[in-house]
Amino acid sequence: MSALAVEVLASPPEWDGRLVVRAAGRPVLHIGAEGITAPSVPVFAVALECTPDAERAPGVRPWDGPVTKSAICPACLRSLRGEPELEAPRLVLAGVAEALPEPEPDRRERHLQAVPAPVTYTEAPLPDKHAGRPITWSPWKPAPTISHYDPSCEWCGDQDHGELTSGCQGHPGSKTPPPRVFLARRCTACQLMTAYEQVGSELETIAHHKSRAPKDCNR
């Protein structure tokens, strides 16, 4: 049993049966207005789909070559199909500021959370005297990085805000009484501070400032 092959003819193009002309000095083809027949010589009074006023139409001559949709004037095609004319682009003057349209509000549901400011604590005070004699302290300096040593604060766990300072009683060149040397370490994140007196090769605690920060808050 054989199948019956049915040949389907393509539908005729929009310009079928209409006059196709070429305007002088223009690369595109035009379609003559309905009822227009081919003139015997190039003339100017030929109404076109894109220019129905014959007095304004360009000089044309009949075209008997191949015709494709891409070669036809877009305005003629829109007129044949009853499509509206394209809006002319709006000119914007150079150097003139133009307000941009406001963006649409973001209507997606979001749960905003306020980020609290970082908590700061009162700076730890160094002892101004020891054993009845005043102590002269140097400015605080960042603690040096020491290998195989954990610099974390023993209270809050912060690793990056340790500082050291040193102090003394008496003049370093004085022999009576002998000068006394002091050291102090503090965490600027939570203000935990301990001050020591150096006695020989040992360090004896002379003051301790307890932190008010929560335990392990910076770990």
* Average pLDDT, integer, range 68-94: 81
Q: Is the pLDDT of residue 194 over 90?
A: yes
Give the percent of the chain with pLDDT over 90: 29
Q: Distance (Å, rounded) from C-alpha 176 to C-alpha 120?
A: 43
* Nearest in space to 61 (alpha carbons), one of 22, 20, 102, 108: 22
Q: Per-residue pLDDT averaged across 71-94, rounded?
A: 81
pLDDT in tens, 14-73: 777 788 888 776 778 888 888 777 666 666 667 888 888 777 777 788 888 888 888 888
The span from the CA of 114 to the CA of 92, in Å, is 43
Q: Please, what's the b/e burial string for 5-16 (b: 16 or more CB within 10 A of its CB; e: otherwise)?
A: eeeeeeeeeebe
Q: Are 140 and 186 in contact (CB under 8 A)?
A: yes
For the stretch 111-147, pLDDT in tens is 667 777 778 889 999 999 998 899 999 999 998 888 7
pLDDT on residue 11: 47
Sign of CA dihedral 174, 175, 177, 180: positive
Question: Is the full-model pTM beyond 0.75?
Answer: no
